[in-house]
């Protein structure tokens, strides 16, 4: 029987990186829900639409297709048939994703697509409201966090590796701003589910973070099987 692991948490906590590694180690399908919102933000910007302009975004969703596929073990995200995977990891798109995700119609648009994936496959899914809204019955729920400074340091290094020019101060400012927007939006705000396990990786290396989450997952799966 298919089961789900839900990982929620703020931007830059390492959710996607850790979830991707765990999925490979545990033989699960990895679903990066944030990529869906990033893809929509990227698409709307390309259409000249402000990601916060609900009046223009809602009609633009009609007939629009957004999908996740896996090629050679890697997740790809397509919007309107175009593979936009390589274009959605910039600070600009991060903010666009935060703004567009605050629109209830957008969340409703993507809700069923995410649930459909988890209905037929055992998945590990990360985002902001997986354990609270998307998959409230997930067998394992984790709220992954780290200090804003730690998360900004990691994200800054990641952007530098990709050749994206910015400063640590700008990354930290964007991080704090996005944290506020994600946790204060009216529709499915970022929060820890009542039955989620809190894991703070501020002082952990990637390897340590993966090991800690894997231990939590295995322990919880064992508990639910007993």
**What pLDDT score does 33 carry?**
85
Give me the mean pLDDT over the 43-67 stretch. Answer: 95
Give me the mean pLDDT over the 113-135 stretch. Answer: 89
pLDDT above 70 for 100: yes
Q: Work out how many domains the chain is built from and give that number.
A: 1
Query: pLDDT tens digits, residue range 143-164?
Result: 999 999 999 999 999 899 989 8
226: confidence class by pLDDT, cuts 50, 70, 90 = low
The answer to whether position 179 is within a domain reads yes
The answer to whether position 189 is within a domain reads yes
Give me the mean pLDDT over the 32-53 stretch. Answer: 94
Read off the CATH number of the domain in which 94 is found. Answer: 3.40.50.300
**Of residues 22 and 71, which shows the higher confidence score?**
22
End-to-end CA gap in the chain: 15
**What pLDDT score does 20 carry?**
92
The answer to whether position 56 is within a domain reads no
Mean pLDDT taken over the chain = 92
The answer to whether position 162 is within a domain reads yes
- Cα(176)–Cα(183) distance, integer angstroms: 11
The answer to whether position 138 is within a domain reads yes
**What pLDDT score does 8 carry?**
96
The answer to whether position 130 is within a domain reads yes
Give me the mean pLDDT over the 26-47 stretch. Answer: 92
The answer to whether position 73 is within a domain reads no
Kindly state the tokens that stand for 214: 């894997």
pLDDT above 90 for 117: no
- Cα(220)–Cα(167) distance, integer angstroms: 40
According to DSSP, the β-strands at 29-32 and 123-127 are parallel
pLDDT above 80 for 70: no
**Of residues 113 and 49, which shows the higher confidence score?**
49
Note the Cα 137 to chain centre separation in Å: 18
**What pLDDT score does 119 carry?**
85
**What pLDDT score does 18 carry?**
95
**What pLDDT score does 1 carry?**
74
**Of residues 116 and 15, which shows the higher confidence score?**
15
Question: Which domain covers residue 194, as residue numbers?
Answer: 4-33+90-225
- Phi/psi at 164 (5° precision): -90, 115
């Amino acid at each position: 029987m298919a089961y789900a692991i839900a990982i929620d948490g703020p931007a830059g906590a390492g959710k996607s990186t850790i979830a991707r590694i765990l999925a490979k180690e545990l033989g699960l399908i990895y679903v990066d829900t944030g990529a869906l919102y990033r893809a929509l933000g990227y698409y709307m910007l390309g259409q000249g639409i402000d990601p916060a302009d609900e009046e223009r975004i809602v009609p633009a969703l009609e007939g629009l297709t957004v999908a996740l596929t896996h090629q050679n073990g890697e997740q790809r995200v397509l919007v309107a048939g175009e593979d936009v995977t390589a274009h959605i990891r910039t600070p600009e798109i991060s903010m666009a994703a935060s703004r567009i995700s605050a629109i209830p119609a957008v969340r409703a648009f993507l809700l069923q697509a995410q649930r459909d994936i988890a209905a037929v496959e055992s998945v590990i899914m990360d985002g902001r409201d997986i354990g609270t809204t998307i998959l409230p019955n997930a067998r394992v729920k984790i709220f992954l966090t780290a200090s804003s400074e730690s998360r900004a340091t990691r994200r800054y290094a990641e952007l530098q590796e990709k050749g994206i020019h910015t400063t640590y101060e700008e990354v930290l400012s964007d991080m704090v701003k996005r944290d506020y927007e994600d946790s204060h939006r009216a529709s499915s705000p970022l929060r820890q589910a009542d039955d989620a396990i809190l894991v703070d990786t501020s002082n952990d290396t990637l390897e340590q973070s993966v090991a800690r989450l894997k231990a939590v997952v295995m322990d919880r799966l064992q508990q639910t099987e007993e």
